[in-house]
């Protein structure tokens, strides 16, 4: 079979890590008899430089013509200060999520045995293990509500961001979380701020309805401030965490940090069909761009998620994950996870080793 992949290499270390994922996919193709045809789709800062806007016309169509999208990272200080949305790299990211209908963002955070020492939590906490799946609503809430800025008579300038959620939006992300939990340890923690926000009260109402329907799944409500605390106090209590867009943005960075390195974690953004967008959760890291220092593992694991969720290739996905583990167990480390006694490699060296392990 031939599969069409849209490659959004992006900015900073994006092109380097995408390059390594492509190497690994080529190897997967050879081993399992698939071909991957790649199409470059430039968005973000590089697109601002090339055509004057971060989300060029035709981007969504180009991605829709493919089976899946791999994205490195977009943004950087060079494009950081524009007030014109077309000239902000982040606009491209939000637009592509919305235009492809990718409302479910899956961010798994797991502590790998080979990297247990990188966990910043107390040893007795880390020893209990971390293996959670953050399910973040990605196309609604305050990210996409009306934004306003206006002059008041007596309070100077004022700004507002509207946060709205419909039952339909809550139900579809909730279902995704419960379905995922059924394939894991059958626990869902729904994170909200129902003691203050009306959107959260509706969120909770819908989640409770689903909890009754999925009665085989253990369910709890957790207030977002408490969730932030529990993630560092005892992350082993969590299996699937489901939450709205902004809370999920914040909590997923926290969840990634407790597993050691943000460079290690992948994410999948999914809609109703099989097409998805796969990216590492790290940013473009302009400070180390172009120096062969980036950790490509988050990107390579994102490619593994693509094999699993969009291309229905569970054996291939398992093989990539195993190849990553083998590279780590053999002592190879990029700078971000380097410890005494381990072997330092660059981005390309790590990608090469993982591809070779296949
Ligand atoms: C993320 C990022 C984005 C977000 C930014 C870059 C717009 O932080 O994917 O988590 O807030 O969603
Ligand atoms: Mg974020």
> One digit per residue, pLDDT tens: the chain, 358 residues?
899 999 999 999 999 999 999 999 999 999 999 999 999 999 999 999 999 999 999 999 999 999 999 999 999 999 987 889 899 999 999 999 999 999 999 999 999 888 888 889 999 999 999 999 999 999 999 999 999 999 999 999 999 999 999 999 999 999 999 999 999 999 999 999 999 999 999 999 999 999 999 999 999 999 999 999 999 999 999 999 999 999 999 999 999 999 987 889 999 999 999 999 999 999 999 999 999 999 999 999 999 999 999 999 999 999 999 999 999 999 999 999 998 999 999 999 999 999 999 9
CA-based R_g, the chain, Å: 20
The encoded tokens of residue 115 equal 């990297």
Q: In Å, how far are 107, 194, 199, 223, 250 from 204, measured between CA atoms?
A: 21, 7, 9, 11, 19
CA 142/CA 6 separation, integer angstroms? 28
DSSP letter at 116 equals G
Kindly give the distance from the C-alpha atom of residue 356 to the centroid of ligand 2, in angstroms, as a whole number.
32
DSSP letter at 314 equals H
Active site residue 253: yes
Cβ neighbours of residue 235 closer than 8 Å, sequence gap 6 or more: 109, 121, 125, 130, 132, 255, 258
pTM passes above 0.85: yes
Task: Give, for ligand 1, the residue of 8, 73, 93 to mutate: max count of ligand atoms closer than 8 Å to Cβ.
Answer: 93
CA 170/CA 156 separation, integer angstroms? 36
Kindly give the distance from the C-alpha atom of residue 249 to the centroid of ligand 1, in angstroms, as a whole number.
6
Q: In Å, how far are 10, 12, 43, 116, 269 from 66, measured between CA atoms?
A: 18, 24, 16, 37, 15
The encoded tokens of residue 222 equal 């957790």
Measured from the alpha carbon of residue 107, the closest ligand is: 1
Helix axes 314-329, 297-309, angle to 10 degrees: 160
């Amino acid at each position: 079979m031939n599969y069409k992949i849209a490659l959004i290499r992006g900015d900073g270390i994006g092109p380097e890590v995408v390059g390594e994922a492509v190497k690994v996919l080529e190897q997967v193709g050879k081993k399992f008899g698939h071909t991957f045809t790649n199409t470059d789709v430039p968005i973000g800062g590089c697109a601002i430089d090339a055509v004057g806007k971060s989300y060029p016309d035709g981007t969504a169509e180009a991605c829709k013509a493919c089976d899946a999208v791999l994205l490195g990272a977009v943004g950087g200080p060079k494009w950081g200060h524009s007030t014109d949305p077309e000239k902000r790299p982040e606009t491209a990211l939000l637009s592509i999520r919305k235009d492809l209908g990718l409302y479910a963002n899956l961010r798994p955070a797991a502590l790998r045995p080979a990297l247990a020492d990188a966990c910043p939590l107390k040893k007795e906490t880390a020893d209990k293990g971390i293996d959670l799946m953050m399910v973040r609503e990605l196309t609604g809430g305050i990210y996409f509500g009306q934004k306003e800025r206006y002059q008041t008579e007596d309070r100077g300038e004022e700004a507002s961001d509207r946060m709205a959620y419909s039952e339909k939006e809550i139900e579809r992300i909730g279902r995704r979380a419960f379905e995922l939990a059924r394939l894991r340890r059958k626990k869902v923690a729904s994170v909200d701020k129902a003691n203050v926000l009306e959107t959260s009260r509706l969120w909770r109402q819908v989640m409770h309805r689903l909890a009754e329907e999925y009665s085989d799944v253990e369910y709890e409500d957790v207030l977002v401030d408490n969730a932030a605390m529990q993630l560092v106090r005892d992350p082993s209590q969590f299996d699937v965490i489901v939450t709205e867009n902004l809370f999920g943005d914040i909590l997923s960075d926290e969840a990634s940090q407790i597993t050691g390195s943000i460079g290690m974690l992948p994410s999948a953004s999914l809609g109703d069909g099989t097409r998805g967008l796969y990216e590492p959760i790290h940013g473009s890291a302009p400070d180390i761009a172009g120096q062969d220092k980036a950790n490509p593992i988050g990107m390579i694991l994102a490619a593994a998620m693509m094999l699993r969720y969009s291309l229905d290739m569970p054996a291939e996905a398992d093989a990539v994950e195993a190849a990553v583990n083998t590279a780590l167990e053999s002592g190879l480390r990029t700078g971000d996870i380097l410890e005494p006694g381990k072997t330092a490699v660059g981005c390309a060296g790590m990608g090469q080793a993982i591809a070779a392990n296949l």
